[in-house]
Structure 1
Amino acid sequence: MPNTLSRATLSTVAVASAFTLVTACGSAPEDSASGGSDSGDFTPCMVSDSGGFDDKSFNQLSYEGLQTAAGELNVEPITVQSNSPTDYTPNLNNLVDQGCGLVVTVGFALADATKEAAEQNTDVNFAIVDDSSIELDNVKPLTYDTAQSAFLAGYAAASYSKTNTVGTFGGSQFPTVTIFMDGFADGVKYFNEQKNRDVRVIGWDVDAQNGSFTGGFEANEVAKNTAQGLIDQNADVIFPVGGPIYQSAAQAIRDANRPIALIGADADVYVSDPSVSDLVLTSVTKGLATSTEQVVKAVGDGSFDNTPYVGTLENDGVGIAPFHDFESQIDPALQGELDTIRAGIIDGSITVTSPSSPN
């Protein structure tokens, strides 16, 4: 069955070891700051958040976008990995000192450090992923209305569920996390309205804006126990939102020894992490690689502007991945229904909102 929603699917490849990677506050090799011939001395740079570039999620996708653009521009990028929040400011200063023409900071956690660096270095361009709080001429926000795509995933989860219970949980209660959870829960609600069903969502209350969170974005016992709590309430679809915490959810699912599907976030987790591919129903994707690639090439071409980028279903900046191995297990009518809903969201006949949606 064709999956027209796959146009927004991100194809994620492993981070190649041949690329220069600077961890914590280390210095890059001296030749890393030299640009290629096509773009003069332009050097694009990137700082990860504490999840690192191998998180199989938004850090890795942003990294891949940087590398793709750098290859097309024939320049050598510099990447600096943060091991903790205390690394953000020194890592940014490190890159500015090395003559970076653009610094991409990955994640809202770097907002304060990015703003400070941008204010102090007005001749350097910055872009920040998942944050729109900075209003400066030299900072471009890259944001994503994932409520739209999560709405589709919630509808699909409700359609697939055999227990009439689906669950979601997040890393920390930040807008970039809860926007997924809002859309997911609203998609389940829409399914119930359309099908006269009563599939319940556990782990998140849209009206109260509260639910289950692990307190961080690490794959650990807390994340596994949080997923287990949803499983114990009979959820047979689980949507973890927060980088690597899906890995802990996958462990809980395997331990449960009964059919439970996983929904990925940011990347198409079926592709980015084959170790859990047999569990992945679909993923709610963000065009991190594409948007990062675009801003790097814009600076390389001398056309940077600070107009916020907002990824939507209409511009393929968000989407849902194919059903992959689950395609034979879903309702044959589901894909057509999702195509209709997607079109309705784009033309405005179906309203999807979240308190955390980008302006």
Structure 2
Amino acid sequence: MRRVSRLSQVAVAVASLALAASACGKTSSEAAQEEGGKEQGSGASSSYKGKGIGLAYDIGGQGDQSFNDAAYAGYTKARKEFKIGGVDMEPGDGESSADKVQRLEQLANQGYNPVIGVGFAYAPAVEAAAKKFPKTTFGIIDDNTVKADNVAGIVFHDEQGSYLAGVAAAKASKAKHVGFVGGVDIPLIHKFEAGFVQGVKSVDPKIEIEKRYLSEKPEEGGFASPDKGQNAAGGQIEAGADVIYHAAGLSGQGVIQEAGSQKKWVIGVDSDQYKHKALAKYKQYILGSALKDIGGAVYDLTKSVVEGDPRTGERRYDLKSGRLGFSDSNPRYRAMKDVVAAVEKAKQDVISGKVKVRTAP
């Protein structure tokens, strides 16, 4: 099993070697060393005694241009603002829940606080580690099932952002035929599908919708296989779809690549994928992205810990909170005034309660 951890501070290099050795992996701190970084104590609160943030990525890892990269953005922002250290760690291929437990416990044991698992798959690991380290604050993204005084369950109304994506897709489609690609056939991704379909049908009930899930289980590669995403998008375009929305993590890069190559609209997810350099070749075809500010949630939790008042329990974000939305970075999108107006109206309708978005297909 290969597991990689990125160390963002020179001063933690020695500790990280011990961490990597015990976790059967290796470190990757060269970039941070070249920047000449040094671990610093927090200037925000004299009560904070932690070494910084411990961030454990989900399937796909950093560089997915989506879910994990959004978490990394919050990690870097918090480290810079609060002048604290940090370690961010990659998942191993085909790893077990025990591997995740070991990773989180190593981070907590070395003094990182908070320790955050990026993705619902960390739930058993967070529960186990939180019991062993009651003085450490743990966070988990996309799960609220772990009930402990030192755990923050960070969840989003993904269906609301997806509803906006559906409205945008329906308004932009000339073929009256759109597509949805989900990474894994699980309840979390069903929320994305449900919101998207409702948004499309709110514009025109007659629009045809292609739907495809890339795998039944996360370990089968649905979130980490761009080739699967590319094949799915190709099939939907062949069937007639001219706008495709993906909720597929790293696999979504394949969706974007295929749609862009065929000059069809594609809608990204989680982070503003129009701005990602790795997708620059296709960005003119990225209509927008259903934003999910995971980075903001990571920042919020870290801020609360650094300031000595950890925000634990369920932490829920919706459109009204400002942590969900639809990006408008693409000038081609902004030029489509009717689409922009429809998306904005849909957003206000959801925030006001006029529209209730379903969470299941």
Aligning the two structures, in what range does the TM-score lie when normalised by the shorter sequence? 0.7 to 0.9
Question: What TM-score does the superposition give when structure 2 sets the normalisation length?
Answer: 0.83
Give 1:260-339 correspondences, 5 Å limit.
Answer: 260-272=264-276, 273-322=279-328, 324-327=330-333, 330=336, 332-339=337-344
Task: Give the match for residue 69 of structure 1.
Answer: 78
SS in 2 for 1:46: strand
Deviation at 1:352, TM superposition (A): 1.1
Task: Give the match for residue 355 of structure 1.
Answer: 360
Conservation of the 8 A alpha-carbon contact between 2:183 and 2:214: yes
Task: Give the match for residue 4 of structure 1.
Answer: none
The AA in structure 1 aligned to 2:81 is E
Quickly say closer, same or farther: Cα 1:73–1:227, change in 2 above 3 A: same
Which of 324, 346, 352 aligns to 2:351? It is 346
Task: Give the match for residue 97 of structure 1.
Answer: 109
How many percent identity over aligned positions? 26
Task: Give the match for residue 53 of structure 1.
Answer: 62
Q: For 2:257 and 2:27, locate their aligned partners in 1 and report how far apart those are by CA, in whole Å.
A: 37
SS in 1 for 2:85: coil
Task: Give the match for residue 162 of structure 2.
Answer: 150
Q: For 2:345 and 2:43, locate their aligned partners in 1 and report how far apart those are by CA, in whole Å.
A: 47
SS in 1 for 2:115: strand
Deviates more, 1:52-61 or 1:311-320: 52-61
2:96 counterpart of 1:81: no
Task: Give the match for residue 214 of structure 2.
Answer: 213
Q: For 1:123 and 1:76, locate their aligned partners in 2 and report how far apart those are by CA, in whole Å.
A: 18
- Which 5+ residue runs of structure 2 have no aligned equivalent? 1-5, 30-36
Task: Give the match for residue 248 of structure 1.
Answer: 254
Q: For 1:328 and 1:294, locate their aligned partners in 2 and report how far apart those are by CA, in whole Å.
A: 30
Q: For 1:246 and 1:325, locate their aligned partners in 2 and report how far apart those are by CA, in whole Å.
A: 22
Quickly say closer, same or farther: Cα 1:27–1:157, change in 2 above 3 A: closer
Quickly say closer, same or farther: Cα 1:36–1:225, change in 2 above 3 A: same
| TM superposition outliers: structure 1 runs of 4+ over 3 Å | 20-29, 31-40
Task: Give the match for residue 201 of structure 1.
Answer: 209
The AA in structure 2 aligned to 1:263 is I
Which digits, 9 at most, give the CA deviation of each residue in 1:290-346, with x for residues without a partner? 11101101000111132322121111111001161423663x323223222211111
2:8 counterpart of 1:19: yes
- Which 5+ residue runs of structure 1 have no aligned equivalent? 1-16, 204-210
SS in 2 for 1:213: strand
The AA in structure 2 aligned to 1:353 is R
Which digits, 9 at most, give the CA deviation of each residue in 1:213-254, with x for residues without a partner? 345212333222211221121000111211121221133235
Deviates more, 1:230-239 or 1:37-46: 37-46
Conservation of the 8 A alpha-carbon contact between 1:111 and 1:133: yes
Deviation at 1:187, TM superposition (A): 0.3
2:156 counterpart of 1:131: no
Task: Give the match for residue 123 of structure 2.
Answer: 111
Conservation of the 8 A alpha-carbon contact between 1:47 and 1:80: yes
Deviation at 1:33, TM superposition (A): 7.5
State how many pairs are aligned: 325
SS in 1 for 2:116: strand
Which digits, 9 at most, give the CA deviation of each residue in 1:84-127, with x for residues without a partner? 33342221122122112210110111111111111222121101
Deviation at 1:184, TM superposition (A): 0.5
Deviation at 1:19, TM superposition (A): 2.8
- Greater RCO (CA < 8 Å, at least 6 residues apart): 1
Deviates more, 1:88-97 or 1:152-161: 88-97
SS in 2 for 1:111: helix
Which of 35, 41, 44 aligns to 2:49? It is 41
The AA in structure 1 aligned to 2:74 is G
Quickly say closer, same or farther: Cα 1:37–1:336, change in 2 above 3 A: closer
Quickly say closer, same or farther: Cα 1:328–1:353, change in 2 above 3 A: closer
